[in-house]
Amino acid sequence: MKDPLTPQEQRVIALVAEGKTDNEIAQDLGIARSTVVHYVRSICQKLRSPNRTAAAVQYYRCTGPSSHHKMTGSQEGDESIQ
């Protein structure tokens, strides 16, 4: 990765990896949808990924799932069926 992701970009890519839409990410982070779109474009460029899904996969290959668990507060094996 040429340029490291900013902390806000890391939060965005973690939410992308959870399958959230731009609108949901904007609401969760308290930012405008257009700002989310900007972050996703920047993330894709930095990770040299063609789309948001590929960027999320690339990010987790670099950081590992433990980073996601730390960011979201979930634990390994933390699965709930609803």
CATH number, position 22: 1.10.10.10
Residue 80 confidence (pLDDT) above 50: no
Residue 2 confidence (pLDDT) above 90: no
Distance between CA 74 and CA 33 in Å, rounded?
Answer: 26
Q: What is the pLDDT of residue 67?
A: 53
Range of the domain at 58: 7-65
Domain total of the chain: 1
Residue 81 confidence (pLDDT) above 70: no
Does 44 fall in a domain? yes
Does 1 fall in a domain? no
Does 46 fall in a domain? yes
Q: Tell me the average pLDDT across 42-70.
A: 82
Residue 44 confidence (pLDDT) above 60: yes
Q: What is the pLDDT of residue 72?
A: 38
Residue 78 confidence (pLDDT) above 50: no
Q: At what angle do helices 52-63 and 7-17 cross, to 10 degrees?
A: 110
